Structure 1
Amino acid sequence: MIFRTMLHAFLSRFGARLDHWDVARTRFRVLPTDLDILKHMNNGVYLSIADIGRFDLLRRNGVWGIFEQRGWYPVVASETISFRKSLELWQSFVVESRILGFDEKAVYVEQRFTVDGEIYTQAFIRGRFLKRSGGVVSIEELLEAVGPAPTDFTIPEWLLEWGADAALPSTRAEAPSVWAD
């Protein structure tokens, strides 16, 4: 996956420039190393490729450069993915990535794995931004750096509820692993 990431880091330098809130379309092909024992793309590979799609989005919309200047970096807080059709060996596909909006703590991104415009897989990512110097980038700091969000942003209510329900305790709170009998 590191070679694919490096390739797309290089390619994103030449891709079409995007507005911060545009949809990025990143092209891929299913490789032999992406397959599971059933000979279709492994479910874990989708999440790794989604990472590359988000990286491409942030590079081409200029946000990555802003983050580098400020010493910020993105992390995934939670993600959910639904599968509709399998991707097969050598099949080409496009990952469409867009920022949906944010709540008081995180940014929500939708990503679609498409073939000829048809959705095969859909993922939603709830991400945070951290400071290399320590601490979390607030949504206010983020918007100050990248500019205001469009007023027509709408995050589905179910996604906001999922974000809250799926969240683990903060890193400063206890989180013991206790299984119910």
Structure 2
Amino acid sequence: MNLFLRLLLLLLTHRFRPRCEKLGPARKGFIVWPPDLDVLWHVNNGVYLSMLDVARVDWMLRSGMAGPIRRRGYYPVVAAETIRFRKSLQLFQRFDVETRVLGWDDRAFIVQHRFLRGEELVAEAIVRARFLKRKGGTVSSAELLQAIGVEEPSPPLPDWIAAWNRENAAR
């Protein structure tokens, strides 16, 4: 299904879904539609990344973060992402994307997305997300945490994710 249709449907229905914690987890259900498929009749690799966008918007809306972020003129951008595929998703299959914040550094948040068919892991993505100001400039993690009312320190990242994050931050 087209990204814009999924986003429109999300904007129309998110108020009827349960709230979630600011750092997650948040689960968003999906169905595989014909436009999601590639020539091998499974979900196209690029479509997975579009679904991550929808899952992040769902999480930000249901956690209550979207309002304070928008009021301050902040907006999120993906700085880096990596994804590992374990299984295929086929036409009309139902699945969830589970989103959670794993941690942060001074400039970015590390977000984990898990594609789940029931409790079976289909794919897992790690995203380095930053926030920018509409009038120009970047938002530090401390500024964003203050805006959304999170006071706790970052949990430690798994070693491989910490190394991946350092490498991407240096570029």
- Aligning the two structures, in what range does the TM-score lie when normalised by the shorter sequence? over 0.9
> C-alpha offsets along residues 38-58 of structure 1, whole Å, 9 cap, x if unaligned?
000000000000110011000
The aligned counterpart of 1:41 is 43
Is the CA contact (8 Å cut-off) linking 1:73 and 1:132 kept in structure 2? yes
Is the CA contact (8 Å cut-off) linking 2:111 and 2:126 kept in structure 1? yes
Give SS of 1:16's match. coil
1:109 partner amino acid: V
> C-alpha offsets along residues 83-122 of structure 1, whole Å, 9 cap, x if unaligned?
0000000000000001111012100000000011111000
In 2 relative to 1, CA 94–102 (structure 1 residues): closer, same or farther, beyond 3 Å? same
Q: 1:61 aligns with which of 51, 55, 63?
A: 63
d(CA) in 1 for partners of 2:114, 2:158 = 16
Give SS of 1:89's match. coil
TM-score, scaled relative to structure 2: 0.94
Is the CA contact (8 Å cut-off) linking 2:25 and 2:99 kept in structure 1? yes
Give SS of 1:12's match. helix
2:96 partner amino acid: V
d(CA) in 2 for partners of 1:159, 1:122 = 13
Unpaired runs of 5+ in structure 1?
170-181
Unpaired runs of 5+ in structure 2?
none
d(CA) in 2 for partners of 1:133, 1:146 = 20
The aligned counterpart of 1:130 is 132
The aligned counterpart of 1:173 is none
d(CA) in 2 for partners of 1:152, 1:129 = 17
Structure 1 segment 1-181 matched on structure 2, within 5 A: 1-151=3-153, 153-167=155-169, 169=171
Is the CA contact (8 Å cut-off) linking 1:78 and 1:167 kept in structure 2? no
Which of 149-158 and 69-78 deviates more? 149-158
> C-alpha offsets along residues 34-89 of structure 1, whole Å, 9 cap, x if unaligned?
00010000000000001100110000001111111101000000000000000000
> C-alpha offsets along residues 119-151 of structure 1, whole Å, 9 cap, x if unaligned?
100000000000001100011111111123545
User: Could you tell me how far 1:164 is from its partner in structure 2?
Assistant: 2.5
2:9 partner amino acid: L
Paired residue total:
169
2:33 partner amino acid: L
Is the CA contact (8 Å cut-off) linking 2:112 and 2:126 kept in structure 1? yes
The aligned counterpart of 1:179 is none
Q: Report the RMSD for the aligned CA atoms in angstroms.
A: 1.4
In 2 relative to 1, CA 87–133 (structure 1 residues): closer, same or farther, beyond 3 Å? same
Which of 44-53 and 141-150 deviates more? 141-150
Q: Identity of aligned pairs, percent?
A: 46
d(CA) in 1 for partners of 2:170, 2:79 = 9
